[in-house]
Amino acid sequence: MQKLDLFKEQISSASSKRIIITTHHKPDADALGSSLALALYLKKKKHQVTVVTPSDYPSFLHWMKGNDEVINFEDKQQVDEARSLIGKADILFCLDFSNLGRLQGMEEAVKDSDAYKVNIDHHQDPEDFADFSFSSTKAAATCELLYDLIVKVGDKELIDQDMAECLYSGIMTDTGGFRHPNTTKNVHLVTAELIGLGADNSKISRLIYDTYSVNRLKFLGFALTRRLTILPELNTAYFGISKKDLRKYQSQTGDTEGLVNYALSLDGIKIAALFTERKDGVKISFRSTEEVAINKFAATYFDGGGHKNASGGISSLSLEDTQKRFEKLVKENKQILFNQLALVDEKNQ
């Protein structure tokens, strides 16, 4: 309670503060939605607020209020301004990530900042870097937590339609359109409140899910017909996307978003993965059905982690070798994965 009172004092309207809001590399709807909603809220409290993202993000999120004022740390024309703003900040908000490594190139600038740091997040194993932390792994989304925090400090009346739509977006996407097991009673209560505050749920769904470019639609068709591997004996399916594939369809940030869910949607599939070849390694997205804790698998073998049924990872092997290793590990751990026992230690085999 004492830390909450100090936080309320820090963000009070008594004196204008220089505030930076940031989130993880390659922000999704929850990351950007929470960041922009918080910016709108703090501006109403008369603060000087700037959202600085570590990278670009999907174009289907550009409709959110405040998008045109976001600074991209990877943009060579904006990086000096971003560093200066971070260095001068009185308060630094870190949203939707549990450790500073998720900032990638921005990590050192944030770590070196003397600002009062606030972390709002719903991921596991949080790093102890913030002066005030408002986190819970039981929350479906950071947007859900941010709504709860604004209400807790007594400022619900400041939530307008623009803020409500940003918050609704993050909750909708992080629950998979309210289909995932993290869709709790509180999720429905919060989203009902947001709709009551003006969030147009139909419009938001259309803007995020139904605004494909021609190239993205063609890429989806290509991936489904040419890059999907199904292993029915392992209850597993995955996509392997090469750099050449991405170039062929002029892939933009966000074009692979949601692809892994198609693999998980197959009847009988309990584990799904998306392997995407990038210049710095093979990026991996894992998904699983409710009974499989895929985050433990990601952490043990692919230097990753995340939520129980939605996690990420990375591999320094080639795309082909990463896929082979994945198949081998799933085969060795099939009974263990589905029964939640200890995973096989590769080093001791």
Boundary-marking domain end, from 181, 209, 237 = 209
CATH number at residue 140: 3.90.1640.10
Instruction: Based on the fold, state whether residues 65 and 170 are members of the same structural domain.
Output: yes
For residue 168, pLDDT beyond 60: yes
- pLDDT recorded at residue 342: 54
pLDDT digits (tens, 9 = 90+) for 41-69: 999 999 999 999 999 999 999 999 999 99
Domain count, the chain: 2
At 67-121, the pLDDT tens digits run: 999 999 999 999 999 999 999 999 999 999 999 999 999 999 999 999 999 999 9
pLDDT at residue 243 tops 90: yes
Q: Would you state the pLDDT for residue 334?
A: 87
Task: Supply the pLDDT for residue 275.
Answer: 98
> 120 and 237 share a domain?
no
Query: Does residue 220 share a domain with residue 198?
Result: no
Domain-terminating residue out of 209, 224, 250:
209
Per-residue model confidence (pLDDT) at position 305: 86
> So what's the pLDDT on residue 231?
97
For position 321, which CATH number holds?
3.10.310.30
| 247 and 113 both lie in a single domain | no
Question: Are 163 and 91 contained in the same domain?
Answer: yes
Among residues of the chain, what percentage have pLDDT more than 90? 88
Which residues fall within 8 angstroms of residue 42, CB to CB, at 6 or more apart?
A: 11, 19, 21, 49
Do 32 and 139 lie in one domain? The reply is: yes
Coil, helix or strand for 312? strand
For residue 1, pLDDT beyond 70: no
Judge if 65 and 97 occupy the same domain: yes
143 & 264 share domain:
no
88 closest CA partner among 109, 107, 58, 61: 109
pLDDT digits (tens, 9 = 90+) for 111-162: 999 999 999 999 988 899 999 999 999 999 999 999 999 999 999 999 999 9
Which residue range(s) make up the domain with 322? 214-348
Residue 331, pLDDT above cutoff 90: yes
Checking if the pLDDT of 338 tops 70, the result is yes
- Looking at the structure, tell me whether residues 204 and 226 fall in a common domain: no
pTM to 2 decimal places: 0.90
Tell me, what amino acid is at 57? Y
pLDDT score recorded for residue 124: 86
For residue 2, the model assigns a pLDDT of 67
What are the pLDDT digits (tens) for 185-222? 999 999 999 999 999 999 999 999 999 999 999 999 99
Query: Which of 178, 194, 209 represents a domain boundary (last residue)?
Result: 209
Average pLDDT of the chain is: 94
| Residue 319 reports pLDDT greater than 90 | yes
Between CA 325 and CA 311 the distance in angstroms is 17
Q: What is the pLDDT of residues 295-308, one digit of tens each?
A: 999 999 999 988 89
Same-domain check for residues 168 and 314: no
Say if residue 131 is in the same domain as residue 255.
no
Q: Which residues of 215-254 are buried (b: 16+ CB within 10 A; e: fewer)?
A: ebeebbeebeeebbeeeeebbbbbbbbbeebbeebebbeb
**pLDDT the model gives residue 13:** 81
Please tell me the least confidently modeled range out of 51-55, 176-180, 224-228, 268-272.
176-180
Taking the C-alpha atoms of residue 223 and residue 345, their distance in angstroms, rounded to an integer, is 32
Same domain? For 161 and 257 the reply is no
